[in-house]
Each structure stands twice: as C-alpha cells, then as structure tokens.
C-alpha cells in the first residue's frame, strides 16, 4: 500500500469533508480570494472547519446526559494595516463564500495598505506530524463509553468509604480545518481531541469536600486504559480527602512553593498572556519593549511549544496555516521573544511563530498560547520544601484573574499545605496567591528537577474565545509572595 505525504493526506481529507460535498474546489477558493483582493489589503484568508463533538456524563451510577453536535462553516478575513474585516457563514457553498468575500473587501482605506497579488497557483504549507488523523468518536462504541465511565465511578467508590458522590465525564471531538491564504498557501489539519474528567465528593463528620482529576490529549479513546483511569481517580479522591483535613490558611507575605505540572497555570496566566504579540504591539503588556532585558531570575526559561506529540495544546498547523514551533520566550531570565500570529508579526516586523489560533470558523485568529511551560532546574523537590521555614506549598489551583497591563494576579489554591521548619505540617484551604507576574518571576529562588506537563485538561479564554492548551513547570520556590488566607 502506498501512502501519501502527511500534509497532502490531511489536505485530501479536508477537501473530502469541506469542499467536495458542497461543490467547492480550488477554483472557487481562488475566486473568493480574488474578490477580496480587488481592493487594497495586506492579507486575506479563508478558514473552513467541520467539528463533530460528543459528550457523556455519569452521576450516581447513571448516565445523566449525552450530547452530539456537528458544526461547520467558513470564516473569511481581510486585513489592512491594523484593521480586520471578518465575515462567516455556516453554509458551505460558493454563493455564501463569495457573499462573505464581497462583505469583507470593503475594509480597504486609501494610503493605509497595499494592493496584494492573489497567488494564481497554490502552494502547500509545511507542517508537523504530531498526532494521527483519528476520528476519536468512532474509537469506542456507545456501550464501551458508558462502561468506561462506570469503571471510573467504581474505582472512586472503592478508594475510600468517605466518597459519597462521583461524577464522571467523557468528551471526544473530531475537527477538520482547511486554510486558504491569498499568498497561495493551502494548509489543513485533522485534529482529534479527547478528555476524561472525574469529580468526587467526600464526607466526614458532616463536612463535605470536592476533588477533581482527569486528562486527555489528541488520540483515540483507547488511550484511557484502567491504569490511567486509576491515576485520575486517585488524584480526585486524594484531593477531596486532603481537603477534609484542611485547616484555614494563614495570611501574609511568605515564601511559596508551587508543585509541578498543573500549577503552571499560574505561569500561563501571569506571564504567558503578557507575552502575546497583540498586547506587546499595542504597548499594553508589562513586557512591551523589553526584548533582551532581564524579566525573570537566572535559571528561568519559559517556552511555548506547539510541537509536542499528542498534547492537548499541540497543532500540526495553527489556524492561519503556519507550522507550529518551539518558541523560547524567556531564556535564563532574559526576554527573547513574543507569541505571534500573522497580523501582529507583520506589524512588528517579525515572523509568525505558529500561534495564530481561533475558537472556530466564526472567530478571528489572534496570538494564543499552545503548551506553555518552564524548563526544570537541578533541585530535588524535597530540598526545596525543606528550605522553607514557614510558608505555603500549593499543589493545585482553581480559578484566577490577571491584569495584563499591570501583571497583577489573584489565584485560588484548591490544594495546599502549610510548611514549617522544612516539613509539611498540615493541609490548608482558602489560600489565595496575590502578586505581580513579572515580579514573581524575579523572585524564583529554587527550580526543581521534576518538570511535568499537566494531564491534558487546560482551556484558555481570551477576548471571548476558548481554545485547548497545555501548561507545565517543575517545583518552584518563589520568595515574598502575598498569601490571602482565612486564618
């Protein structure tokens, strides 16, 4: 059997799903782009997408809800200077495509842009091969999906008699996208995405506490073998039981140790968003104009990497047709670059970094993170905890808020411990971390050798759009961080 080059294979799948059933072909794409190009613009693209999503949820041993949806359409964009005109349609036809193209071409304003020549011959974008073009919805039948959730519930209840309620969820998505750019670039991606989530409620002496776990990535549902599900269940049950013993958190300025893996969400929010190109081009980020300057302690190296195989935040190509990259943002504490989409890269005189992302065909792309994490250091976790005389050890986080302009953040710890004389004394609850992202990065005094990425649960919101992302970090000690508590 002769197989095609992966980029061409993905293009063939996208054409089969998004073009051929609706009487569309390369000539129709060229006509739409030519229509946009009749006026002066700097860039234009078409973004076709078909998404099938399935979800199941189980509670009290019963499947309480199930859903299946199909969404498809095309987004048409023209860019002139800093202005973007955008139209979309959930009807895939040449008439709808040309109507959207005529709508956006009116963006042009004399003197602010140039007349671009729409390429007559398409060229295929380079890309990665990070995951198989699997339809994960079809990898298990309905009975197997329900059985998987039932196993999760039984595992959780068997862990401890204090577990009184279990909720489990399963989600699978099959996403096919096709990008056609005015410069002739044609790119496609076939994106599987799955996730299992488990929430448990434990009760003791009339007190109830919640714990969560789960994970996923870009593969089929067969990935969720029992040993992996056991890990998710242990994470959820242990968190709930730990919180049953938790005391009110002390408050004040203190040293804080952040655990590895998911606590990297603080790095994502407090630093990562501030490194996105649009905020820096407009000068609204605290990192604006600081390329080459020290913005973090020595040893702090932060990457945004969309090229890690099978990861939730990874993409073969971004939503503008650019291959994803491994971007070093901060190197040994020095700011090296920003995360860029095509428009902000052009306006800042740099190259795109493969970070142009959008929630769907009905949204405009913008610079967004993929998998953002800090590299590990040399210190064992035990040594870092032992270095704390009095302080907080936070191993899991819930919600948080960040102000991009000032860098100030507020994060609530969903699982944390009080450390005294280098030893974990007891769990605490109600701890809130308050600080400034850039300042916090300059106060990193110890970096662990235990880098972990999260299990595959992250969703990032920006300007009303949500996209799947990954986070990660090693164990970190940050000095002089304000902790808001209840004690």
Q: What is the pLDDT of residues 180-189, one digit of tens each?
A: 999 999 999 9
Mean pLDDT of 334-363: 97
pLDDT tens digits, one per residue of 355-396: 999 999 999 999 999 999 999 999 999 999 999 999 999 999
φ, ψ of residue 97 to 5 degrees: the values are -65, -45
What is the model's pLDDT at position 3? 54
Residue 126 banded pLDDT, cuts 50, 70, 90: confident
Residue 119 banded pLDDT, cuts 50, 70, 90: low
Rounded to whole angstroms, the Cα distance separating 193 from 204 reads 37
Single out the residue of 147, 146, 246, 259 nearest to residue 202, CA to CA.
Answer: 246
Q: Are 14 and 178 in contact (CB under 8 A)?
A: yes
Query: What residues contact 349, with CB distance under 8 A and at least 6 apart?
Result: none
Tokens (6 digits) for 366:
């913008």
Name the percent of the chain lying above pLDDT 70: 96
Tell me how crowded residue 141 is: count the other CB atoms within 10 A of its CB.
Answer: 9
Tokens (6 digits) for 414:
């969903």
Which residues are paired to 465 by β-bridges?
A: 462
Tokens (6 digits) for 49:
């997408």
Mean pLDDT of 196-217: 97
Tokens (6 digits) for 444:
């990193």
pLDDT tens digits, one per residue of 426-482: 999 999 999 999 999 999 999 999 999 999 999 999 999 999 999 999 999 999 999
What is the model's pLDDT at position 270? 87
Residue 111 banded pLDDT, cuts 50, 70, 90: very low
- Which of 84-93, 115-124, 136-145, 353-362 bottoms out in mean pLDDT, i.e. has the lowest? 115-124
Rounded to whole angstroms, the Cα distance separating 470 from 312 reads 6
Torsion angle in degrees (nearest 10) through CA of 95, 100, 101, 107 = 160
Rounded to whole angstroms, the Cα distance separating 93 from 28 reads 9
Check whether 95 has a pLDDT greater than 60: yes
Element (H, E) at 309: none
Q: Are 306 and 451 in contact (CB under 8 A)?
A: no
Pairing of strands 247-248, 423-429: parallel
Q: Are 78 and 182 in contact (CB under 8 A)?
A: no
Single out the residue of 414, 395, 371, 415 nearest to residue 475, CA to CA.
Answer: 395
Check whether 199 has a pLDDT greater than 70: yes
What is the model's pLDDT at position 127? 76
Across the chain, mean pLDDT equals 94
Rounded to whole angstroms, the Cα distance separating 77 from 103 reads 10
* Cα 25-31-34 angle, rounded to 5 deg: 140
Which residues are paired to 77 by β-bridges?
A: 45, 86
What is the model's pLDDT at position 118? 58
Check whether 112 has a pLDDT greater than 90: no
Which class for 68: exposed (0-12), middle (13-18), buried (19 or more C-beta within 10 A)?
exposed
DSSP, residue by residue, 214-266: EEEESS-GGG--HHHHHHHHHHHHHHHHHHHT-EEPP-EEEEEEEPSSTTHHH
Which residues are paired to 49 by β-bridges?
A: 73, 177
Which class for 70: exposed (0-12), middle (13-18), buried (19 or more C-beta within 10 A)?
exposed
Tokens (6 digits) for 162:
């204090």
Rounded to whole angstroms, the Cα distance separating 454 from 397 reads 12
Mean pLDDT of 154-181: 97
What is the model's pLDDT at position 407? 87
Longest dimension (CA), the chain: 73
Single out the residue of 200, 199, 198, 192 nearest to residue 223, CA to CA.
Answer: 192
Check whether 134 has a pLDDT greater than 60: yes
Rounded to whole angstroms, the Cα distance separating 314 from 218 reads 8
pLDDT tens digits, one per residue of 262-318: 999 999 988 999 999 999 999 999 999 999 999 999 999 999 999 999 999 999 999
Tell me how crowded residue 4 is: count the other CB atoms within 10 A of its CB.
Answer: 10
Residue 1 banded pLDDT, cuts 50, 70, 90: very low
What is the model's pLDDT at position 125? 79
């Amino acid at each position: 059997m002769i197989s095609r080059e992966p980029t061409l294979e993905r293009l063939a799948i996208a054409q089969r799903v998004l073009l051929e059933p609706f009487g569309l072909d390369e000539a129709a794409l060229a006509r739409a782009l030519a229509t946009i190009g009749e006026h002066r613009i700097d860039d234009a693209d078409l973004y076709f997408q078909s998404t099938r999503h399935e979800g199941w949820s189980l509670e009290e041993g019963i499947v309480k809800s199930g859903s299946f949806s199909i969404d498809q359409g095309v987004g048409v964009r023209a860019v002139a200077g800093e202005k973007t005109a955008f139209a979309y349609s959930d009807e895939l036809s040449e008439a709808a495509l040309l109507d959207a193209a005529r709508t956006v071409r009116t963006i042009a304003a004399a003197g602010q842009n140039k007349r671009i020549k729409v390429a007559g011959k398409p060229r295929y974008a380079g890309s990665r091969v990070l995951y198989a073009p699997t339809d994960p919805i079809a990898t298990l039948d309905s009975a197997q999906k329900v059985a998987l959730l039932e196993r999760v519930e039984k595992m959780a209840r068997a862990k401890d008699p204090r577990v009184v309620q279990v909720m489990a969820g399963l989600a699978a998505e099959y996403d096919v996208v096709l990008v056609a750019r005015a410069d002739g670039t044609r790119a496609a991606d076939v994106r599987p995405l799955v996730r299992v989530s488990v929430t448990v409620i434990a009760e003791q002496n009339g007190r109830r506490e919640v714990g969560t776990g789960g994970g996923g990535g870009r593969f089929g549902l067969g990935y969720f073998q029992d040993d992996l599900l056991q890990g998710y269940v242990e994470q959820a049950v242990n968190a709930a039981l730990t919180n049953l013993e938790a005391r009110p958190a002390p408050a004040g300025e203190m040293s804080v140790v952040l655990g590895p893996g998911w606590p990297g969400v603080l790095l994502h929010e407090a630093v990562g968003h501030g490194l996105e190109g649009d905020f820096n081009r407009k000068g609204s980020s605290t990192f604006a104009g600081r390329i080459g300057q020290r913005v973090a302690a020595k040893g702090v190296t932060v990457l945004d990497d969309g090229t890690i195989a099978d990861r939730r935040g990874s993409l073969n190509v971004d939503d503008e047709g650019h291959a994803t990259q491994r971007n070093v943002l901060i190197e040994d504490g020095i700011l090296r670059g920003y995360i860029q989409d095509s428009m902000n890269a052009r306006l800042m005189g740099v190259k795109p970094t493969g970070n142009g992302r959008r929630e769907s065909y009905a949204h405009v792309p913008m610079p967004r993170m993929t998998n953002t994490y800090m590299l590990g250091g040399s210190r064992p976790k035990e040594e870092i905890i032992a270095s704390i005389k009095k302080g907080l050890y936070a191993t899991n986080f819930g919600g948080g808020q960040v102000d991009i302009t000032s860098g100030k953040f507020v994060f609530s710890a969903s699982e944390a411990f009080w450390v005294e004389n280098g030893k974990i004394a007891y769990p605490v609850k109600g701890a809130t971390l308050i600080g400034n992202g850039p300042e916090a990065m300059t106060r990193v005094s110890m970096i662990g050798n235990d880098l972990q990425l999260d299990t595959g649960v992250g969703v990032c919101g920006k300007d009303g759009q949500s996209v799947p992302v990954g986070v990660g970090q090693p164990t970190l000690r940050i000095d002089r961080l304000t902790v808001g508590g209840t004690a």
